[in-house]
Amino acid sequence: MDMSLIESLRNALPLVSGFIYPNELELQWSILIVLYPYITGLVAGAFVLASLERVFNVKAIKPIYRLSLLVALAFLLVATLPLNLHLGHPERGISILMTPHTSSAMAMFGFVYLWYLMVVLLMEVWLDYRKQIVEWSRSETFWPKRIFYKVLTLGVDNISPRSLAIDEKLGKILTVVGLPSALLLHGYVGFIFGSLKANPWWSSPLMPIIFIFSAMASGIAAVMLIYMFLCWARDVVIDMPCLDTIGKFLLTAIIVAFSLEMLESLQTAYEAEEHFDIITLLVEGKLLVSMMLIQIMLGSLTPMFLLGLTQVVELPEKVRKVFYMLSGSLALIGIFAMRWNVVIGGQFFSKSLRGFTTYKMHLVGREGLFSAIIVELLPLVILAVLLYLLPPWEKESHSKSPTTAA
C-alpha cells in the first residue's frame, strides 16, 4: 500500500467515529458549495421582491424596485464563481455549453443561468434605465462615464412617450417571464439534492420547494438591509410604508419556509426508515448548534417573533427599524446555516449508516474560509459599482431634517 495513503488514513481516522468506507474520509463538497445555493437564493429572492411591484402592482415597495434588480444582478454575476473555484479545472466549465448533455441537471443549469442573466435580468435593467441612460449620455460632464452611457444606449436614443411606453410593456413581459426563471434558477439546486436517492438527508421531494421559499426570505432580507443601510449612508429618510411592506413579505416567506422544513422533518420522523437512527444522532450531535440553535432558534423563530410583533403591536418607527434590522440579519444567518446543514451535514454520515465523518475548514486555500469571505463580499463590491453607475434613487430625494430624522 502507498505510504502516503497510509499516512492520510492515520491522520483522518482519529476524526472519524464508527464505520465508514475509505472513499468517505474527505468531504467532497466544501464551504464553496454552501455559498453556491446561498448566493443563487439571494438572486431569486431579490428578483421576486422586485416583481411584486411590477407584476403584482404592490406600489408600496416601488422605492426599492430598482435596488432589488441591481442586487439580483450583482449576486447573479458571482453565482457561478463558487462552482468554478471548487472545480479542479475551472476552464472546463464551458464544456457544459459547448457540448451540452440534456440529461444532466448541472448542464441544463448553464443554459438557465445564461437565459436569466443575458435575456431576462440584463434586458430588464436596461429597459428600466434606458431613459436615464440616454439623458446621462447627453448631460454627463465626466467624459469616461459619458462614453460608458453612450455605449450603453446601444444606439437607441429615442425617449419619446411612445417609445418609453413600449419599454414599460416589454419590461413587464420580461418580469413575468423572469419570475419563473428566477425560481427555476434556484429551485434546480434543491432538485439536485432532492434527487440524490443514495443520501437520505437530501432525498426529499420537498427539497426544491424548501430551497425556493428560503431563497425568497434571504433575498428579501438582503434587499431590506441594503435599503436601510443606503438610506443611512445617504442621510435620507426611510420610506416606512415601504419598509413595513417588505417586513410583511419577509415574515410570510420565513413562515412558509420554516413550515415546509418542519413538515419534511415530521415526515422523516414518521416514516422512521432504517436511516432515521443515524439522522437522529446527527441532529443531536454534530448539527445540534448549527441546526437547532442557529437555523431554527435564531434564524427562524426569533425573526418570526420580532416581525410578528410589528404586525400585531403598534410600535414606534425607531423600534420597528431595529426589529427589521435584527430580523433581516438573523434570517440571513439562519438561511446560511440551513445551506450549511444541507450541504455539509448531508455528508457527515457514512453510506454504511454506522459512522460519522468530520469537516475541517481551512483558513486559506482555494476552498478556505478567506476565499469564501471574498466570494461573499464580491457581490457587494459589484453592487457598489452598479449603484455608482446606475443610481436607483430619484434625484429629488430629500435629506433628513432635524424634525423628520428617525
At 24-34, the pLDDT tens digits run 556 778 888 89
**226-230, 240-244, 267-271, 368-372: which has the minimum mean pLDDT?**
267-271
Cα distance from N-terminal residue to C-terminal residue, the chain: 70
**101-110, 309-318, 372-381: which has the minimum mean pLDDT?**
101-110
> Residue 352: its pLDDT value, please?
63
Give this prediction's pTM.
0.87
CA dist 239 → 217, 253, 321 (Å): 20, 21, 11
> How many CB atoms are located within 10 Å of the residue 229 CB?
11
Q: Would you say residue 349 has pLDDT above 80?
A: no
Average pLDDT of span 367-387: 93
Q: Which residue has the higher pLDDT, 83 or 198?
A: 83
Q: How confident is the model at residue 264 (pLDDT cuts 50, 70, 90)?
A: confident
- pLDDT digits 0-9 by tens, 147-181: 999 999 988 888 889 999 998 898 888 888 888 88
Q: Would you say residue 209 has pLDDT above 70?
A: yes
Q: How confident is the model at residue 93 (pLDDT cuts 50, 70, 90)?
A: confident
- Contacts of residue 388, Cβ cutoff 8 Å, sequence gap at least 6: none
Average pLDDT of span 181-204: 73
Helix or strand run (H / E) with residue 18: strand 17-19
- Residues 33, 106: contact at Cβ < 8 Å? no
> Residue 354: its pLDDT value, please?
65
Q: For residue 236, what are the β-bridge partners? A: 399
Q: Would you say residue 198 has pLDDT above 70?
A: no
Q: How confident is the model at residue 17 (pLDDT cuts 50, 70, 90)?
A: low
> Residue 4: its pLDDT value, please?
60
Largest CA distance in the chain: 78
Q: Which three cell numbers stand for residue 387?
A: 449603484
> What are residue 356's phi and psi, to 5 degrees?
-120, 150
Q: Would you say residue 265 has pLDDT above 90?
A: no
> Residue 355: its pLDDT value, please?
67
- pLDDT digits 0-9 by tens, 100-138: 777 777 777 778 888 887 778 899 999 999 999 999 998
- pLDDT digits 0-9 by tens, 227-254: 999 999 999 999 999 999 999 999 999 9
> Residue 55: its pLDDT value, please?
84
Average pLDDT of span 337-349: 85
Average pLDDT score, the chain: 83
Q: How confident is the model at residue 11 (pLDDT cuts 50, 70, 90)?
A: low
Q: Would you say residue 400 has pLDDT above 50?
A: no
**What is d(CA 182, CA 227) in angstroms, rounded to the nearest whole number?**
21
Average pLDDT of span 295-324: 94
